[in-house]
Structure 1
């Protein structure tokens, strides 16, 4: 098996003396020796097998007094920054001619930030420079408390300093600092920059990540076997320099990738040329070149080692692939990784990767031959990895992972963009049903209630075999096979005697299934008539809104339902009409008419039962109570409903019964006198007659003389026996010959309602022999009322007279206004002479020709509107 390596390395320059430091750009390499000499090489590849040749193109003896200990290249500016003999100086990179000296003494270390900022560390302070006017110019000095060993920039305002005993984070804006952590006794500060937001600091055998706020951004560090002499970041790897070798670890997974057998190195520089990344280091033997193995090759190596996580991270860094090819590479790795995880019994993680890449579900389902027939996965390319057989517990765990995957996949918007998407969805949903049956049957019904693509025949067969009757009913419901559902429900209801499901199912069927509702409601009626009514009056509530996508809203046509119930379910017609009228507030005239007539029919039916039930007193009492309740309903409904036809009720109800109801119907058709006659002469109830007069009296209507009619009827009938209630609510009777009591009752009526009775009509009706003293109170009330009316009329007359005088006074004042106009006066609208023309004068004094006035309410000069003024113009 091929082993993953990050670098190929070779010794390219030997025996050139003691090297102090080196730096590279493009294919150039600059080397500083301890004697102060500077050598420039050109490094070229001489074969495809990572063989390189270094050609010396420039050597400058005594370039500096002493060897350069630190170099950095500012390539866009062609500047070389060099530290030697405690001095920091700039050089022209092309000619190597010296330029500015930035610090002439005591310089120990420097750090260049690609944001064009330079920091030079002295024993007691830091010198900060900014690139300006083609050179570095000093901006500030920052005091420090110890000798700096390492400097690493965070952006342009924060810098991390490594001292002998600790690391600190310094903010250059306010010169504040924060201690990060202390070093061990035998530890030296080492550091490398990861990005503007992160650096890596060494502490003995561990390297710790830090951010610009003094916090550790990662929950882990990089641990080595022993303490490295130095560390360098070469994306995505961290290189640790040790006595015997260079060790390469990945930044994210911390995995040891490679041991590069180059001993005694402490320095490293890296560069890039034509998308090839490389680095240089040195030891006593000479200068070594490290060439990065192409990332795509590394990715394949990692995949061959089943190190898929590392492969995916490396794949993100590959620049040689376009977006489409990179995505395809990612997906290939993830699918292989998913199968690998599945084989390792990490089912949930495997399914997450399958879903992430949008893998065809049929490939995944090939892993579950017990759930899906082999024919489903035919024609798909499946990795050659050998899948180990799962035991029973593993199979169950795998199915749980599969359920999550299938649920996410079926809800993904991308699934419907695939070819044969309906076929795929059908396989997914049918497999989900099989999975639920093996894991948790309670999930089947809720799933079926959602929009789904389950294979009807397969699921039907599966439910029948598993004896899942409620799930089978739900399957039929979802697929609009309602008749099949109802056949099964009816059969089960007869067996168990429980009709709840039967009722609920019929309640959910809408108007488009009216024939089924009618057909099976008759069967339900035979089992339980009382529960059958719910089928026709049921309305969905908010809790059942989720059902709307599988069965439409109810909306049953009431007239059609009423006709069906009347013909087939007669005992339900009255409850149905009561529901429609009283709860749904339906004002359909036929419903109101029918309800009254059905009430009457029910009373006739009860009366027939009473005739045939002579011995059973309990039953007679019960029937009588029921009859009285219905009569009360008729009375209340006749009074309150406005939508029935009263003439139809008069023709339908018998004339010798239901007197009070007939009185209501007569009032509705305007026959108030006939209605009053019923209360007086049929019911003989003076209290009801009086209340009727009070209720129907209208001052300016047809019933303004209704009290007079009432009194007239009382006085004209001598053969009646009346009853009425006193003020103390006790009932009294007026016998045939008790004229005095009748007269007293009439006098009480006229006294109590004197404002509603014409006195001339009443006096004519009263008996001539009646003693006037008995109606003295009434006469006094009438006189007081007449006097009050007269006084009110006089007040009104005087108020109107006063208004009239005020108006005349205003008119008089207006009429005193004078205007002197002759033939030479000019029209205020057109500016021409008035002459002998007719003019109009407005209240504001403007006058104009009548022909110049467009609107008699609007002044032609000021446009002022006088429409509310008492007079518009003169």
Structure 2
């Protein structure tokens, strides 16, 4: 018997013997069927599965009915003979032959309708439906030496004796007449084929589906699969490889063996015996791999078996990944190591412990994971870098290597890499990226108060080593401590590798240890970064004290600009209203020594400054210098548009205080007006304040004039009094001051022009001519006033006030302006009257037009809103002849949009029958 297989659907054994394929009953082992076409057969392949078949043609059809189909493909020299069963029924019409260009060495189904064929010099893919052949790749024939050469296995593999898989017998040599490149179907999507000493995974289209191939130690005779391992039978040995990453796991030194079956439990046979390959327990395999530092193999094994064995848990995977990350770090693969540390969310203190004091600080206590305390940390090359061919080295060399490793067992984890390498730019750059990503993750967890839920299951980890026990989950306090260590370490790393990044880190929310970071920054004279730290941590008093000290220091080592007033002014500007007491406290000295610069603390155009408590700021500034209060009030009124009455009153009172406290007080203040000045200086005289007060009183509308008027002295400040009386509409008193106190007739006329009412001009004329007010009439100013503004003055009142001695000739211009004004008024009234008459005619026409319309109301007339009969109800008729109930009027007008006259309400009445046009109400005349 050269080949045997089982067809479950028909209960038959398929046996290749004497170069022919026959079917035997599986129970009675009697011959059922002989295939004459199979004479000279070399190999067969079997495939069973559910297919969608057309019920008439029995060919694959996407819209067909599911059928259990079995295909038996037999190779006969340069032909393939196909036998088909559908739902246990032999389908003779589907049995066909396929001609091939060369002799077949091996065949295997890729899918239910495609088969992979290995010829003498090439591999092809046959489509069973269309009969199309497709080249895959070519390969040279095997060596004529019969594969008796020296095959070398990988150096980093785990070489085990035969007893590791439970094999206790010697194997004899088996001679093969010809080489058949083995094929192995793993599942419905993958088929493993061999090309020389390479193993390639292909899909149903014949395309390679993996980036790498299997590098066998020689030309394999046969392939087997026992999850999760691929088994390759080579001339001198059997190789066991991981099916995921193809790493060599075990080599069994045995010659000329072959696989009897390719089931989950493979059997190896020879001419003298049969052996079963039994893998050790998965948990034991994992523990052994981790103890020998084959972490990638352990992780792959865990990943492949995670759904199959309950004792493999996520935490165990994380701990092995942590061990792998340490191994990568010791081999100076810093990027890969930190990426893996970040993936498993390793504690920051473990990673920081690997670095020297320059990064950790002299007070840092180094730690490592508890599960590593049972592991000897040895600096060896990682499994991935090892050459697979070194795995077959002599046991003596392995013993020597173990001795060398034992000498390094006492090394601590942070002593495995030299300090120069750890402080290199490459290593610190990788550490910076790790710490930056870690601080982002920690900040999110702290923000949302995320505490990982414990995953304790004593039974689930019973088979694992104690070092793989899951650690307790971190709490909020531990997260905060980790964030503090991360940020503090990041400052030290930046200082060594990229000092420009310290500032951006400290200007945002951070968990740096202030006592450690401030020592570092002070030592390096990083004052700007130190003040950023203080500001973020709200240590404002500490920051302002240091700024004041640096500003007053005479030490030449203090860098600019910290030896000037600018930094402290800028810092005070950022504090905001919540720190107003600090602002007032530390600004006092600078307001006295440098008032112009210090005033920027309270007048900067920023949100923080603008929101300061203005009452407290004003009181503080006035206490130091009233002129500072004037400047502050001018700023908030002019630029911040403050309309508070109290601040407008305060500004006027401060001006009065400055004038009153001047050497001359309020006397002689109305003479010698000068241009206003903005700058505050000791040379500022009382005339400047007086001018600024007048300008403010004329421009502001938010002060209380009666209160300010009460502050004025009995004598003096007449122009201020005029402005206040004008705001109180006491124009007669204001004009009296201008005419009789200041004797400024031009200002009096300007005053009247600003008010622009006939009453004011009469008041001024009365001040000029009334004998009760003035002893000597001011004839000339009065006549000039009448001539200039005759249109604003009543002729009757003017003539009654003029003394009889005034010549009429001098009043001729006044009479001309007065007459022209009267005529102008008459003409305007006439035009307005004619316009009103025209409007009256227009409305009368509209009334007539509406009265010409009528609306008929009968017993079937419905309301347009409620759709009920109008009947004898009170109704409303609109100009567009719509009729609604009076109670529905508001709903109708709210739900319907009208334009123009349609918005007019014609009338509302209670009626029966027809409404004639003349019964509609008329519109009263507007004139």
Class of the TM-score when normalised by the shorter of the 2 chains: 0.5 to 0.7
Whether the aligned pair in 1 keeps the contact of 2:706 and 2:724 (CA below 8 Å) is yes
Q: In 2, Cα distance between the equivalents of 1:178 and 1:572? A: 98
SS in 2 for 1:345: coil
**Residue 43 of structure 2 is aligned to residue 69 of structure 1:** yes
The match for 1:492 among 514, 529, 550 is: 550
**Residue 90 of structure 2 is aligned to residue 99 of structure 1:** yes
Q: Deviations over 1:577-618 (max 9, x none)?
A: 122222222222221122123234445667779x9xxxxxxx
Query: What RMSD, in angstroms, separates the aligned Cα atoms of the two structures?
Result: 5.5
2:602 corresponds to: 536
Q: In 2, Cα distance between the equivalents of 1:304 and 1:856? A: 92
1:696 corresponds to: 755
1:588 corresponds to: 644
SS in 1 for 2:29: strand
1:15 corresponds to: none
**Residue 420 of structure 2 is aligned to residue 393 of structure 1:** yes
The match for 1:707 among 745, 752, 761 is: 761
Q: In 2, Cα distance between the equivalents of 1:401 and 1:828? A: 86
The match for 2:505 among 434, 447, 450 is: 447
Cα shift at 1:669: 0.9
Cα shift at 1:214: 8.6
The match for 2:580 among 514, 520, 543 is: 514
1:710-749 matches, within 5 Å, as: 710-713=764-767, 739=780, 743=783, 746-749=786-789
2:673 corresponds to: none
1:546-565 matches, within 5 Å, as: 555-565=611-621
1:12 corresponds to: none
**Residue 352 of structure 2 is aligned to residue 341 of structure 1:** no
Cα shift at 1:64: 3.0
Distance 1:325 1:389, change over 3 A: closer
Q: In 1, Cα distance between the equivalents of 2:348 and 2:4? A: 58
Q: TM-score, normalising length from structure 1?
A: 0.68
The match for 1:789 among 812, 828, 839 is: 828
1:42-81 matches, within 5 Å, as: 59-61=29-31, 63-65=33-35, 66=38, 69-72=43-46, 74=48, 81=71
Instruction: Name the stretch that deviates more: 667-676 or 566-575.
Output: 566-575
1:667 corresponds to: 726
**Residue 17 of structure 2 is aligned to residue 34 of structure 1:** yes
SS in 2 for 1:514: helix
2:297 corresponds to: 310
Instruction: Name the stretch that deviates more: 417-426 or 232-241.
Output: 232-241
2:387 corresponds to: none
Cα shift at 1:495: 0.9
**Residue 73 of structure 2 is aligned to residue 83 of structure 1:** yes
Q: In 2, Cα distance between the equivalents of 1:459 and 1:485? A: 14
Whether the aligned pair in 2 keeps the contact of 1:589 and 1:643 (CA below 8 Å) is yes
Cα shift at 1:566: 1.2
1:599 corresponds to: 655
Q: In 2, Cα distance between the equivalents of 1:260 and 1:637? A: 104
Q: In 2, Cα distance between the equivalents of 1:242 and 1:858? A: 100
Q: In 1, Cα distance between the equivalents of 2:695 and 2:501? A: 52
Q: In 2, Cα distance between the equivalents of 1:176 and 1:696? A: 110
Cα shift at 1:494: 0.3
1:408 corresponds to: 437
The match for 1:870 among 878, 882, 907 is: 907
Cα shift at 1:667: 1.2
Q: Deviations over 1:789-811 (max 9, x none)?
A: 33234314523653675577579
Distance 1:380 1:105, change over 3 A: closer
Q: In 1, Cα distance between the equivalents of 2:218 and 2:860? A: 117
Whether the aligned pair in 1 keeps the contact of 2:83 and 2:96 (CA below 8 Å) is no
SS in 2 for 1:33: strand
Q: In 2, Cα distance between the equivalents of 1:240 and 1:628? A: 109
Cα shift at 1:707: 3.0
Q: In 1, Cα distance between the equivalents of 2:223 and 2:600? A: 81
Whether the aligned pair in 2 keeps the contact of 1:21 and 1:69 (CA below 8 Å) is no
Q: In 2, Cα distance between the equivalents of 1:707 and 1:294? A: 117
**Residue 769 of structure 2 is aligned to residue 769 of structure 1:** no
Cα shift at 1:556: 2.7
SS in 1 for 2:789: helix
Whether the aligned pair in 2 keeps the contact of 1:525 and 1:532 (CA below 8 Å) is yes
The match for 2:138 among 160, 183, 188 is: 183
Consecutive unaligned residues of structure 2, counting only runs of 5 or more, are 51-66, 143-179, 378-410, 452-473, 555-562, 668-676, 864-870, 879-884, 897-901, 912-927
Whether the aligned pair in 2 keeps the contact of 1:167 and 1:181 (CA below 8 Å) is yes
Cα shift at 1:334: 0.9
Q: In 2, Cα distance between the equivalents of 1:148 and 1:763? A: 140
Q: In 1, Cα distance between the equivalents of 2:643 and 2:261? A: 93
**Residue 708 of structure 2 is aligned to residue 649 of structure 1:** yes
2:262 corresponds to: 270
SS in 1 for 2:73: strand
Cα shift at 1:532: 1.9
Q: In 2, Cα distance between the equivalents of 1:557 and 1:471? A: 29
SS in 2 for 1:498: coil
SS in 2 for 1:278: coil
Cα shift at 1:32: 2.0
Q: In 1, Cα distance between the equivalents of 2:291 and 2:110? A: 39
Cα shift at 1:644: 1.2
Q: In 2, Cα distance between the equivalents of 1:477 and 1:64? A: 94
Cα shift at 1:406: 3.9
Instruction: Name the stretch that deviates more: 341-350 or 66-75.
Output: 66-75
SS in 2 for 1:69: strand
SS in 1 for 2:262: strand
Cα shift at 1:327: 0.8
Distance 1:282 1:758, change over 3 A: farther
Q: In 2, Cα distance between the equivalents of 1:176 and 1:662? A: 116
Cα shift at 1:254: 4.1
The match for 1:355 among 330, 342, 348 is: 342
Q: In 1, Cα distance between the equivalents of 2:686 and 2:188? A: 94
Q: In 2, Cα distance between the equivalents of 1:792 and 1:161? A: 113
Q: In 1, Cα distance between the equivalents of 2:125 and 2:827? A: 102
> Across the two proteins, how many residue pairs are aligned to each other?
733
SS in 2 for 1:577: helix
1:850 corresponds to: none
SS in 2 for 1:367: coil
Whether the aligned pair in 2 keeps the contact of 1:236 and 1:314 (CA below 8 Å) is yes
Q: TM-score, normalising length from structure 2?
A: 0.64
2:469 corresponds to: none
Distance 1:827 1:365, change over 3 A: closer
Q: In 1, Cα distance between the equivalents of 2:417 and 2:646? A: 71
Consecutive unaligned residues of structure 1, counting only runs of 5 or more, are 1-17, 42-55, 108-121, 125-144, 272-276, 542-551, 612-619, 698-702, 721-735, 830-837, 846-852
Distance 1:868 1:378, change over 3 A: same
SS in 1 for 2:909: coil
1:845-856 matches, within 5 Å, as: none
Q: Deviations over 1:52-105 (max 9, x none)?
A: xxxx97634475345683243537898764334754335799xxx973346434
Q: In 1, Cα distance between the equivalents of 2:518 and 2:683? A: 55
Whether the aligned pair in 2 keeps the contact of 1:245 and 1:261 (CA below 8 Å) is yes
Q: In 1, Cα distance between the equivalents of 2:103 and 2:841? A: 109
1:818-837 matches, within 5 Å, as: none
Whether the aligned pair in 2 keeps the contact of 1:759 and 1:782 (CA below 8 Å) is no
1:134 corresponds to: none
Whether the aligned pair in 1 keeps the contact of 2:768 and 2:778 (CA below 8 Å) is no
1:184-223 matches, within 5 Å, as: 184=139, 186=141, 203-204=195-196, 206=198, 218-223=210-215
Q: In 2, Cα distance between the equivalents of 1:192 and 1:580? A: 87
Distance 1:480 1:858, change over 3 A: closer
2:571 corresponds to: 505
SS in 2 for 1:309: helix
